[in-house]
């Protein structure tokens, strides 16, 4: 699952000024949460594109309820990588940004494409897409699956137990059949619970290593 | 802006200054002349990569532009 959002915006400056400003963004009055900035990789390709990787550290601001739920995450800043391709020939820039820690709690990925605004060549259009996902979603599904499977196996035991006691009341000696049925029910219940645990494990590990589908 | 390695901030500033000039005056104009900031970049990288290792920041082995989401009409 996960959340997706997209937007189209405009920066009121020509493409080359915008691309230059991109490298001089920090610090600014709106970036108090950005603690450090470093280029950790940079190269110019044969076809004159600039590839860069920027490492940012940002403060990890969470609402109080989240701090209570995830106390281990409170103390650590967030490390974020921003990969970018600047293509001056086509006057475009593409960036991809995501967090590389706190990932088990939540991953936010953002992809931006900057290009000359088709309506006004003195402006730059920014298409922004973001994906927010959490492997906690997979855990809650696994808990639900397990809960349902265990409940069903308990229903079987409950019914068989009831039938057994009823038969006794009606004077029938608990026949071999009934006792065997009770044994079968316990075996079947064990199998169902085991299958549910396997399925739950599978769901939880799928959620942890889930590859996102590109739409 | 500070570097993640406190000792590297000055080296970072020197490199950034050189890069910003080259980027606007040469790179964006299509001039593929040599990058004059190579030395400054090397010195800065030596410092910052060491700081990254010391702080255990997990930047190794991560595919450029992530996996599937980066595929665009622009990618070569």
For the stretch A33-65, pLDDT in tens is 999 999 999 999 999 999 999 999 999 998 998
ipTM of model: 0.89
Query: Per-residue pLDDT averaged across A113-131, rounded?
Result: 97
Residue B17 forms part of a structural domain: yes
Chain A residue numbers with beta carbons less than 8 Å from the beta carbon of B70 are 83, 94, 96, 111
B13 exposed, middle or buried (CB, 10 Å; 0-12, 13-18, 19+)?
A: middle
Residue B30 forms part of a structural domain: yes
Q: Are A28 and A22 in contact (CB under 8 A)?
A: no
Model confidence at A212, pLDDT cuts 50, 70, 90, reads very low
Q: Tell me the residue range of the domain where B47 lies.
A: 4-53
For residue A176, what pLDDT is reported?
55
Chain B residue numbers with beta carbons less than 8 Å from the beta carbon of A212 are 67-69
For residue A197, what pLDDT is reported?
78
Residue B24 forms part of a structural domain: yes
Q: Tell me how far apart the alpha carbons of residues A57 and B59 are, in angstroms, rounded to a whole number.
A: 12
Total of domains in chain B: 1
Cβ pairs A/B, distance under 8 A: 113
The pLDDT tens digits of the residues spanning A134-146 come to 989 888 899 999 9
More confident residue, A187 or A5: A5
Chain B residue numbers with beta carbons less than 8 Å from the beta carbon of A19 are 23, 28
Chain A residue numbers with beta carbons less than 8 Å from the beta carbon of B74 are 85, 87, 90, 92, 94, 113
Q: Are A147 and A32 in contact (CB under 8 A)?
A: no
- Is residue A83's pLDDT more than 80? yes
Residue B26 forms part of a structural domain: yes
Q: Tell me how far apart the alpha carbons of residues A207 and A195 are, in angstroms, rounded to a whole number.
A: 18
Residue B16 forms part of a structural domain: yes
The pLDDT tens digits of the residues spanning B16-70 come to 999 999 999 999 999 877 789 999 999 999 999 999 999 999 999 999 998 655 4
| B2/A113 touch (CB, cutoff 8 Å), yes or no | no
Residue B66 forms part of a structural domain: no
**Contacts with A123 (C-beta within 8 Å, 6 or more apart), sequence order:** A10, A11, A12, A13, A14, A116, A117
Q: At what angle do helices B9-25 and A15-22 cross, to 10 degrees?
A: 170
- Is residue A210's pLDDT more than 80? no
Picking from B2, B9, B46 by the largest number of A CB atoms within 10 A of its own CB, the best residue to mutate is B2
The token duo for A89 is 């020939």
Residue B62 forms part of a structural domain: no
**Contacts with B50 (C-beta within 8 Å, 6 or more apart), sequence order:** B5
Q: Which residue on chain A is closest to B45 by alpha carbon?
A: A40
CB atoms near residue A181 (< 10 Å): 15
Q: At what angle do helices B38-54 and B9-25 cross, to 10 degrees?
A: 140
Residue B10 forms part of a structural domain: yes
- What's the gap in Å between the CA of B76 and the closest CA on chain A? 9
Buried residues in A84-95 as b, exposed as e (16+ CB within 10 A): bbbbbeebbbbb
């Amino acid at each position: 699952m996960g959340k997706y959002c997209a937007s189209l915006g405009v920066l009121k400056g020509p493409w080359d000024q915008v691309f230059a400003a991109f490298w001089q963004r920090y610090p600014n009055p709106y970036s108090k949460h950005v603690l450090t900035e470093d280029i950790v990789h940079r190269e110019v390709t044969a076809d004159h594109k600039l590839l860069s990787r920027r490492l940012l550290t940002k403060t990890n601001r969470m609402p109080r309820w989240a701090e209570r739920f995830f106390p281990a995450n409170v103390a650590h800043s967030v490390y974020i990588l921003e990969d970018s391709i600047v293509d001056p020939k086509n006057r475009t820039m593409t960036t991809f940004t995501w967090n590389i820690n706190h990932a088990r709690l939540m991953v936010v990925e953002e992809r931006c494409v900057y290009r000359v605004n088709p309506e006004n060549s003195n402006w730059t259009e920014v298409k922004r897409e973001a994906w927010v996902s959490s492997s906690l979603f997979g855990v809650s599904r696994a808990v639900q699956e397990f809960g349902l499977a265990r409940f069903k196996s308990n229903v079987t035991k409950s019914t068989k137990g009831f039938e057994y006691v009823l038969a006794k009341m009606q004077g029938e000696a608990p026949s071999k059949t009934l006792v065997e049925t009770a044994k079968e029910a316990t075996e079947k219940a064990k199998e169902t619970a085991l299958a549910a645990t396997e399925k739950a494990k599978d769901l939880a590990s799928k959620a942890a290593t889930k590859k996102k589908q590109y739409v | 802006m500070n570097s993640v390695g406190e000792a590297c901030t000055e080296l970072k500033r020197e490199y950034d200054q050189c890069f910003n000039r080259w980027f606007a005056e040469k790179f964006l104009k299509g001039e593929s002349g040599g990058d004059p900031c190579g030395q400054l970049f090397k010195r800065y990288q030596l410092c910052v990569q060491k700081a990254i290792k010391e702080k255990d920041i997990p930047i190794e082995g991560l595919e450029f532009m992530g996996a599937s989401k980066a595929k665009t009409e622009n990618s070569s």
